[in-house]
């Protein structure tokens, strides 16, 4: 009896994970290292693919600020060019004569109009320039209204900011072994009613399918994530990893997927996040180094987040 047949008879596969089962039609891993689904969507036109609000809400703050500054600059360059096109004689109050200084002054007038600041020194004096300035002011009002909504959406959107150990480990545990990985909260907010679900999935080479098994944890729930949480899956008779050698596990191309949720008392909402470990990210014969200690004055507990993935080598028991 092959190992794959044995697992199929011994364990009940989870068929409702949403990840699909055709391993031969899927990539090497189901989750990227940042926890997002490793899926490339094709078969749509460019217009169908874009989702501006979603992109603006989910992109990093660095990219968002760079995009906002770029759009502001481009809009002002467009309107500056239009002012040049209709003639600068239609703007009064301009004092610069040299070309570079003149361009900066007209660009600044455009920026003041777009933001509706309007200092008043430079102003349009005929119909075309006045209409263009009015259009720019309207566009500025609409742009900043949209920007305000996006900023509110970014700040009000609850999300988890967890640290994950770089590797999962196979470590001694209660005279046996266990699969372990560690998480901690990067923020100072309080996460309560924390719950972890771990899926062990592997490539069944006999059928070409991807199999999912919901594996048991030492603790699947904790009251609060105040320090770190080492999530432990005991490798015993109830584990799909029981009795497997390193080479046998490698042949199965496994991926261990963590699904985490908790209640964030800052947002008063439930937050979710995901992470996964492939075979190459599992270290055999190691244990985590403690990452919290008593503070120097003895009045608090010091959580050393830079030690989230630090390990030390140990010998595994001979089972």
Q: In 3D, which of 259, 285, 282, 281 has the Cα closest to residue 272?
A: 259
Average pLDDT in the 75-89 region?
A: 92
pLDDT digits (tens, 9 = 90+) for 228-252: 999 999 998 889 888 888 888 888 8
Average pLDDT in the 188-192 region?
A: 89
Which pLDDT belongs to residue 23?
A: 55
Average pLDDT in the 63-79 region?
A: 94
Strands 209-214 and 176-185: unpaired
Burial grade of 37 (CB within 10 A; 0-12, 13-18, 19 or more): exposed
Which pLDDT belongs to residue 318?
A: 67
CB 288 within 8 A of CB 310: yes
pLDDT digits (tens, 9 = 90+) for 257-274: 999 999 998 888 898 999
What is the C-alpha to C-alpha distance for residues 200 and 13, in angstroms, rounded to an integer? 10
User: CATH classification of 3-36+160-313 is 2.60.40.1400, yes or no?
Assistant: yes
**CATH 2.60.40.1400 segments of the chain:** 3-36+160-313
Which pLDDT belongs to residue 16?
A: 67
Q: In 3D, which of 141, 91, 93 has the Cα closest to residue 115?
A: 141
Report the mean per-residue pLDDT for the chain.
Answer: 86
Going 14 to 19 to 23 to 25, the CA torsion angle's sign is positive
CA distances from 184 to 105, 109, 264 (A): 52, 50, 14
Task: Return the number of other C-beta atoms located less than 10 Å from residue 199's C-beta.
Answer: 18
Please say if the pLDDT value at position 49 is more than 90. no
Give the position of tokens 């968002």.
64
Strands 311-313 and 286-288: antiparallel
pLDDT digits (tens, 9 = 90+) for 296-317: 888 889 999 999 999 999 988 8
Q: Where is average pLDDT lowest: 12-26, 66-80, 139-153, 302-316?
A: 12-26
Decide which of 265 and 70 is more confident. Answer: 70
For the domain 48-156, what is the CATH code? 1.10.287.70
What is the C-alpha to C-alpha distance for residues 301 and 289, in angstroms, rounded to an integer? 16
Q: What per-residue string of b and e applies to 280-298 under the rule 16 or more CB within 10 Å gives b?
A: ebbbeebbbeebeeeeeee
pTM for the full predicted model: 0.75
Going 35 to 37 to 38 to 41, the CA torsion angle's sign is negative
**CATH 1.10.287.70 segments of the chain:** 48-156
CB 270 within 8 A of CB 264: yes
pLDDT digits (tens, 9 = 90+) for 137-151: 999 999 999 999 999
């Amino acid at each position: 009896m092959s190992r794959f047949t044995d697992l199929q008879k011994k364990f009940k596969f989870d068929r409702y994970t949403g990840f699909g089962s055709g391993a031969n039609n899927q990539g090497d891993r189901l989750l990227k290292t940042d926890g997002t689904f490793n899926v490339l969507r094709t078969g749509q036109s460019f217009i169908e693919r874009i989702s501006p609000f979603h992109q603006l809400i989910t992109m990093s703050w660095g990219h968002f600020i760079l995009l906002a500054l770029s759009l502001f600059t481009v809009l002002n360059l467009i309107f500056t060019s239009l002012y040049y096109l209709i003639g600068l004689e239609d703007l009064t109050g301009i004092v610069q004569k040299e070309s570079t200084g003149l361009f900066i002054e007209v660009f600044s007038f455009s920026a003041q109009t777009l933001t509706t600041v309007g200092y008043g020194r430079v102003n349009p004096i005929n119909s075309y320039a006045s209409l263009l300035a009015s259009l720019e002011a309207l566009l500025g009002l609409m742009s900043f209204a949209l920007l305000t909504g996006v900023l509110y959406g970014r700040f009000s959107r609850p999300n988890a900011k967890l640290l994950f150990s770089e590797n999962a480990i196979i470590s001694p545990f209660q005279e046996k072994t266990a699969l372990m990985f560690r998480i901690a909260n990067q923020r100072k907010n309080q996460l309560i009613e924390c719950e972890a679900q771990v899926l062990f999935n592997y490539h069944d080479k006999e059928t070409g399918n991807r199999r999912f098994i919901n594996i048991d944890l030492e603790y699947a729930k904790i009251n609060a994530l105040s320090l770190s949480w080492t999530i432990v899956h005991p490798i015993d008779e109830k584990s799909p990893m029981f009795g497997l050698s390193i080479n046998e596990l490698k042949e199965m191309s496994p991926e261990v997927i963590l699904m985490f949720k908790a209640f964030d008392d800052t947002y008063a909402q439930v937050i979710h996040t995901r992470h996964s470990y492939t075979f190459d990210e599992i270290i055999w014969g190691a244990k985590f180094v403690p990452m919290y200690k008593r503070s120097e004055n003895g009045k608090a507990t010091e959580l050393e987040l830079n030690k989230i993935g630090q390990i030390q080598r140990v010998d595994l028991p001979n089972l």
